Amino acid sequence: MTKKLVLVGGGHAHLSVLRALAKQRPEGINVVLITPSRYQYYSGMLPGWIAGHYTQAQCRVDLAPLIQAAGARLVLDQIVGLDTTRRCVSLTHGQPVAYDVLSLDVGSETDTSWLESLGDKLLPVKPLDNFFSRWPHILMAAKAKQNYRLVVVGGGAAGVELALAAQQAFTGADINGHVDLVASESGILPGHAKSVKVRVQRFAKHAGLALHFARGVGSEEGVLLADGHLLQADQVIAATGARPAVWLGSSKLGLDEHGYILVDKYHRSVSHPNVFAAGDVCARTDAVMSRSGVHAVRAGPVLGQNLMAILSGGPLRSYQPKLHALYLLSCGPRFAVASWGRWSADGQWVWRWKDWIDRGFIRQFSETPHLHAPHKLENTP
């Protein structure tokens, strides 16, 4: 009997799953990938694209060749609901899609609840497709206006890299504008060593980026800081905390206290053994993992093996997150800061290291293995 494997989301982990299916797919498996776009943008290259180091095409993986190599079918749609009792997912435009085994790699959403008063001035960093579409218009508006004000909210790695990239873009285009970064009172880059923070802050000061260590809320004029200072803004980019998708709350999956899918060491749901998850959408019961693309990339090959094992009866493999993950933080120009535990370094050589890794990631999933029988790309289930 044919079994149906449904992959929801074209995230980093599912790229590895598709590649594994292309190399060796079990017999009697019908594979469907549901994702809004045929392109998977790589978040690690977003700051470099903003700064002008990459084209948009260089920052994405075209899923179509991978889909064909895996002998799968692509459904261009977005999940809005999950019924674990009926074993089906609901989509925005199509009919429900049934599954025997389900894998979720849909990431998280940007929590902008305290910035909603900004209205059209607000641009969350996620979804990436929307950000890639909107940024060129922001740059055009900044070029056309004197003293353009851009505020980035969020002191984590994403906010810091985006703010420094925007500062570089303004400098490179000779824009008469100003970029502000708003972090919390505890400062930038929580979880990173003090030496990393010192290096980044020193570079930010040199680049002319204004840092504000106070919480802020959105207003019609811009961002109002806790100390009463108003940052006037023409545009605000939100790289704030993550939140799970709303539809997870009614899925009947076992969730943690924050609403993320609880998974075991095999990245299998603790409540539904035919459901797997990887990336920001899940939380481990046995390990603490930061919401970083690093873990999605590393868990991908393990997820691919486990999905094929559950379908064919093979043994499952565990994924053990490493204690320290390597972060290479882009600083706008071709300069970066390396962070690994208590060790840090910076320089152009770090940026070249990061560039080599990022380009290698895109190349890895753009060069597909042998081709299964081609399947037509569809936008309906």
Q: What is the pLDDT of residues 10-28, one digit of tens each?
A: 888 999 999 999 988 888 8
pLDDT of residue 371: 46
How far apart CA 228 and CA 223 sit, in angstroms, is 10
Q: pLDDT value at position 374? A: 39
Query: What distance in Å separates the CA atoms of residue 121 and residue 26, rounded to the nearest whole number?
Result: 49
- Single out the residue of 288, 287, 315, 289 nearest to residue 302, CA to CA: 315
Q: What is the rounded CA–CA span in Å between residue 48 and residue 172?
A: 13
152: Cβ–Cβ under 8 A, 6 or more apart, which residues?
A: 159, 162, 163, 166, 179, 180, 181, 182, 236, 237, 239
Distance (Å) of CA 44 to CA 49, 169, 297: 10, 17, 11
pLDDT above 70: percentage of residues in the chain: 94
Structure tokens at 362: 């895109």
Cα→Cα distances 352→113, 124, 206, 248, Å: 37, 28, 21, 39
The predicted pLDDT at position 297 comes to 79
Instruction: Report which DSSP code applies to 25.
Output: P
Helix (H, G, I), strand (E, B) or coil at 112: coil
Tokens 């023409």 -> residue? 234
Q: Give the integer Cα–Cα distance in Å for 346 and 206.
A: 14
Give the largest Cα separation in the chain, rounded: 66
pLDDT value at position 290?
A: 63
Q: What whole-number distance in Å separates Cα of residue 254 and Cα of residue 266?
A: 15
Q: Could you give the 3-state DSSP secondary structure of residue 135? A: helix
Residue 63 parent element (H or E): helix 63-69
Q: What is the mean pLDDT of each run of 10 residues along the chain (381 residues)?
A: 92 92 88 95 95 96 93 95 96 92 93 92 93 96 96 96 98 96 94 96 96 95 95 96 91 95 96 95 81 72 93 89 86 96 96 97 80 41 37
Q: How far apart are CA 200 and CA 338, in angstroms?
A: 10
Distance between CA atoms of 209 and 356, rounded to whole angstroms? 27
**Would you state the structure tokens that stand for residue 375, as one six-digit string?**
């399947």
At residue 15, the 3 state secondary structure works out as helix
- Residue in 220, 172, 165, 206 with CA at minimum distance from that of residue 48: 165
Q: Say which residues have a Cβ less than 8 Å from residue 115's Cβ, sequence separation at least 6.
A: 122, 153, 217, 218, 223, 236, 238, 240
Instruction: Please identify which residue in the block is written with the tokens 């190599």.
Output: 69
Q: What is the pLDDT of residue 289?
A: 65
Rounded Cα distance between 217 and 224, Å, is 5
Beta strands 261-263 and 282-284 are: parallel
Output the pLDDT for position 64. 93
- Parallel, antiparallel, or unpaired: how do β-strands 79-83 and 88-91 relate? antiparallel
Of 201, 14, 206, 211, give the one whose Cα is nearest residue 102. 14
What pTM value is reported for the model?
0.90
Give the whole-angstrom CA distance, residue 236 versus residue 223.
Answer: 8
Q: For residues 87 and 83, what is the distance between their CA atoms, to the nearest angstrom?
A: 6
Which residue blocks in 270-320 are alpha helix, DSSP H?
Answer: 293-312
Please give the Cα distance from 87 to 110 (Å, whole number).
28
What is the per-residue pLDDT for 380?
A: 37
Give the pLDDT confidence score for residue 379 in this predicted structure.
Answer: 41
